[in-house]
Amino acid sequence: MDFAIPADIELKLRELDDFIEREIVPLEREHPQYFDHRREFARTDWEHDGVPRKEWEALLAEMRRRADRAGHLRFALPKELGGQEGSNLAMAIIREHLARRGLGLHNDLQNESSIVGNFPLVQMLWTFGTREQKERYLRLDGSVRIGFGLTEPNHGSDAQYLETTATRDGNEWVINGRKRFNSGLHDATVDLVFARTGGKPGDPKGITAFLVPTDRPGFHVDFMWWTFNMPSDHAEVTLTNVRVPQPAILHEEGEGLVLAQHFVHENRIRQAASSLGAGQYCIDESIAYAKERKTWGKPLAVNQAIQFPLVELQSEAEMLRGLIYRTAWELDRKHHMEVTHLVSMANYRANRFCCEAADRAIQVHGGLGYTRHKAFEHIYRHHRRYRITEGSEEIQMRRVAATMFGGFGRAREA
């Protein structure tokens, strides 16, 4: 066993740090309102359903353009798409590193925008798309933006019971139903809509994924759900007799949930690494502050009541780092379904760890910790979301239980 971080990944981290200092930090300094205590207000268009402001998204797009020009944005993508086929292990280490730097334009997790992109839908299209679908939808210049519509008003964790239907009419499919928390729908050009085309409610088979252009008649964004962290692009969507042709099917008819699994595994391990990095940032900041802040004439850091909770968190961080790196390494070698339980363990524990670390950082920083002038409230609110959205904690625990207990633990959810 060799636990050293591979030299090429170490080198990449140094390159990324240099790039951030050279090209991203100056841009960030020109627009302080998106990163200081005003960030949530500056980023949100409160008068238009709380969606991201165009100026904020334009700044993120400029960050991505610079990262692409420097050869970082597509790091994890296939060579044919201009990428470098960066491994899951490299991505985990990079994601942790970027989040550990704290909030910034280099890595806006709320928007899933980073100098090293996480493109699960691009990867999915690359793996499962037809030649025509790839030509039409695989564009990274912002001209194609794809949403992911699985969750519905009556079904989230139990997606295999979803109620949206697609029925065949000649060479077309007619889709009817509703989607909830369909992210990215403030400007998505296409939505990947999951609908039942066969089987009965509860069957994992019989659900099909359709690439639906959002300008199709009958496709309607009803409103955005305002969330703990704003802005929001998490839409309620109604589909009424939306017609799409047969080639709109991604992968095979009835096999849509295979795509959902692919999507969440890519996301879960990277999310776990981001949570680890953000939580580590909270610990690092707390230690630095405790050494500097004096109460009763002595540094806060001399008190074991300050030290021990941070010791507990650091111990958790070290254990998670081992688990996340190993799981990413396994994902590079095995089919993702073989290590699904490890991905789930890493994800739910890392997300929980990050929330605990942010909460502790608020405590160590006292009143200052509670203000928006520190980043901990933002980190807490964002990573709290991860404990629900990529398959909630409980659903991931069911997945682990299914591996541990065999037939006694049922986990057919994504």
CB of 405 to ligand FAD, least distance (A): 14
Which CB sits closer to ligand FAD, 75 or 181? 181
CB of 122 to ligand FAD, least distance (A): 15
- Strands 249-250, 207-213: parallel, antiparallel or unpaired by DSSP? antiparallel
User: From CA 380, how far away is CA 354, in angstroms rounded?
Assistant: 7
Asked if residue 149 binds ligand FAD (CB under 6 A), the reply is: yes
352/383 Cα distance (integer angstroms): 8
User: What sign does the CA torsion over 247, 252, 256, 262 have?
Assistant: negative
**What's the min distance (Å) between Cβ of 411 and ligand FAD?**
9
Residue 52 touching ligand FAD (CB under 6 A): no
> How open is the CA angle 47-53-56, to the nearest 5 degrees?
160
Residues 272, 347: Cα–Cα separation, whole Å: 5
**How far is it, in rounded angstroms, from Cα 180 to Cα 191?**
12
| Cα atoms found within 13 Å of the Cα of residue 171, Cβ hemisphere only | 2
> Nearer to ligand FAD by C-beta: 210 or 325?
210
205 binds ligand FAD (CB under 6 A): no
**Is 151 a binder of ligand FAD (CB under 6 A)?**
yes
411 binds ligand FAD (CB under 6 A): no
Min CB(153)–ligand FAD separation in Å = 8
Q: Which two tokens stand for residue 236?
A: 């309620």
Contact between 257 and ligand FAD by CB under 6 A: the answer reads no
Per DSSP bridges, beta strands 51-52 and 107-108 are: unpaired
Select the span of 73-81, 200-208, 309-317, 388-396 touching ligand FAD (CB under 6 A): 388-396
**Residue 234 binding ligand FAD, by CB under 6 A:** yes
Q: Is residue 148 close enough to count as binding ligand FAD by CB under 6 A?
A: yes
Backbone angles phi, psi at 191, to 5 degrees: -125, 135
How many binding residues for ligand FAD (CB under 6 A)?
Answer: 17
Residue from 389, 401, 409, 412 touching ligand FAD (CB under 6 A): that is 389
For the chain, the straight-line distance linking the first and the last C-alpha, in angstroms and rounded, comes to: 32
Tokens of 139: 């564009």
317/414 with CB nearer ligand FAD = 414
Stretch that binds ligand FAD, among 90-98, 116-124, 133-141, 146-154 (CB under 6 A): 146-154
Q: Indicate the residue whose CB is closest to ligand FAD.
A: 156
Report the candidate in 42, 388, 343, 31 with the shortest Cα–Cα distance to residue 183. 388
Closer to ligand FAD by CB, 325 or 380: give it.
380
Q: To which H or E segment does residue 35 belong?
A: none
Task: Find the binder of ligand FAD among 107, 118, 182, 344 (CB under 6 A).
Answer: 182
Separation in Å, CA 248 to CA 127, 319, 349: 16, 44, 37
Residue with Cβ nearer ligand FAD (23 or 57): 57
Q: Does 348 bind ligand FAD (CB under 6 A)?
A: no
Question: Which range of residues in 37-45, 58-66, 179-187, 340-348 is near ligand FAD by CB under 6 A?
Answer: 179-187
394 residue type, one letter: E
Alpha-carbon span 68 to 119, nearest angstrom: 13
Cβ nearer to ligand FAD, comparing 156 with 254? 156
Residue ranges in contact with ligand FAD by CB under 6 A? 148-151, 156-157, 181-183, 227, 234, 385, 388-389, 392, 394-395
